[in-house]
Structure 1
Amino acid sequence: MIQFNCDGSLSTTRKWTIKNCTSNSCSFEILLNENVMTTYSELYIPSRTLAYGVYQLTLTVTMIDSPNLKSSSSVYVRITATGITANLVQLGTSMITRGDQQDLLLDPGTFSVDPDEDTFDATKWKYTYYCRIYDLYNFPNVQGILLSIDDSTIDPHNPSCLSNRSGNGTKLIFGNSTLSPNSSLTVLSGSLQLNQIYQFMVYMENRKNSSIQATGYVLVTIEVTHPQLIAVGCVISPMCVPNLEFQLLNPTTQVALFTVCIGTCTNLQSIKWNIYQGSDNSTSSNSTQWTLFNNTILYENIWF
């Protein structure tokens, strides 16, 4: 005769364990912060908790009334370095305006971002700067090899950004020469031509691992005025993903921006936002034509 005994509880306990893996085994268990709950079905590990490497995450489910009845399942996770964001100016602003009698400071050693760290360590990187006259020319190069902004070699098809190539030494100042050489660049006033747009690029290479690289861009318009520097950033930075010259956004994503006025910005009389729509230049594939988006009046004083 078969008899059923249903008085026993079917309740279970759950336990997550995390082990650090080597090329041979996963034997070293990681003790997590007490705020990381390891007794639920789901496991949430905050960012920057685990160091780079491979880990074995195992969930074990045990019957409370029959501890010998248990089941485990594992998954393997590799923690890799997040690519840095190379910013030439504060907040990664894409375009700025400077006066012809103002120095231009580009400082990726200060303004770049490493998502894996609280602060960016400028000493870990090498810096090389390039410049071209936007809309008109490519970056100066010789047989496809780019010429840095301080290279005296002349590309007859793509002229230098500097108005007097022979005097480069007095027009450029590289900063932080001891701890992090060339982590900033100052282009002295009078070096760039009026009513011209320049595109600056920084190429950054990790000192310990040359395969880890980053590139940042900024467009600079030179005018006869003496403007303050205005930086623009996303209120929720993870929603604006840097992609070389642009920020990537989902079409359905609502964008919230903020600004920072750098320098002496007293007695502001008004603030006005303009939106421009970009399109590829029909005569040159290496630049973008920007057209004022005139429909903003339809959205005045509301989010859009």
Structure 2
Amino acid sequence: ISMPLNESALINYNIELNSLANVRDYLVTFLTNLLITTSNSIILQSSSLAQLTQATNQLTRNTLMLVSNRCYELSAALYAMFEKISYEDAQSASNQLFQCASNILNGVNGPLQGRTDVLDLDYSRANTMPTDYDTDLESAWSNTNLFGGGDEASIEKNRNIYYQKQLANQINSQVTKILSLLTSSLHIHLNIGQHSLINTSQTFMSLETISIQSLKDRLVKQVENAQFNIPSDFILNTTSNSSISLRSRVDPLASYGNFQNTNLSRSISLSIIDQNGNEVSFQANENNPMQMIIPRDPNVVIPSMYLQNVTSINSTINNLLFDYRYINITSSLPISVHFEIHSLNRSLAYLFIYKFDQAPQLNSSINLSVGWT
């Protein structure tokens, strides 16, 4: 039986993808049972886990769960000995654990965001009847209402998504604890003006200790033009008046949640941490809010531009002077609008006009009423 080349390549890709995922699912059981003794053992194990989870589309739920638990254990062990080890050892271990935390976040959110394929092993495990099916009356597996009902195929698909969401919530919570432990292990070594930087293909993390006064009007720059602009008149919920730590992070993929349209952007975060290692809340003025730039994921292929020959508009039967485009962007979520114009004829001048809330009326007799000049 012959098939198109693209279809054959896709089948081979999925076979190899699931084969590699099965190998990682098997290997992780050995890496997560090693003894934690010294800082060197933490560095070695965290480095192995960071490499194992680097291919985030090959991580089963079992792999993600075991690695997440192990990363937390390693982070807790590092925090327990941070006063007894050098800053270099703490930074080396934290570097790997930050990458590991980013990898498992991307791995668990990838299928939910539609960015990676559902692995065969996950789908099979989700839809295999549990051994306690007959005795566990509250088992979620048999409650088809949780999976949207419908035919068997729909139930199986939604059941897999249900377990993926459950694990995503668990990992999101555990990664928050991991980040807190790692931050506490590092910031104790930093004096005012010093900072720790991790910049890899998996994650970006910057931790610096500064005075509270220098936080005003501060521009916190990250990779890929991501940034936070902190206003001058903010309210910081802390009694300390000396120094704080700023932790900024960029992860490759935003987490899945209650919001839609987050699967095209990076995930950025900024945390203010007091001298005790606790995160401090802060509030900006409505008239002078905090500004931020969230970069788009460059790995997402954006459809090509629509080309419009505007030079032929005024030669049409209606003799129009403008090409009108009305786009409805009504949404309950914030929307970022980007205009990009590429001129095909550099010898011509182009006039581009946009107006929000209603379609513009371009007429010289009413230009004062709609604000056009």
TM-score higher than 0.5 here? no
Higher relative contact order (CA 8 A, sep 6+): 1
Greater helix fraction, Structure 1 or Structure 2:
2
Q: TM-score, normalised by structure 2?
A: 0.21
Q: TM-score, normalised by structure 1?
A: 0.24
Greater strand fraction, Structure 1 or Structure 2:
1
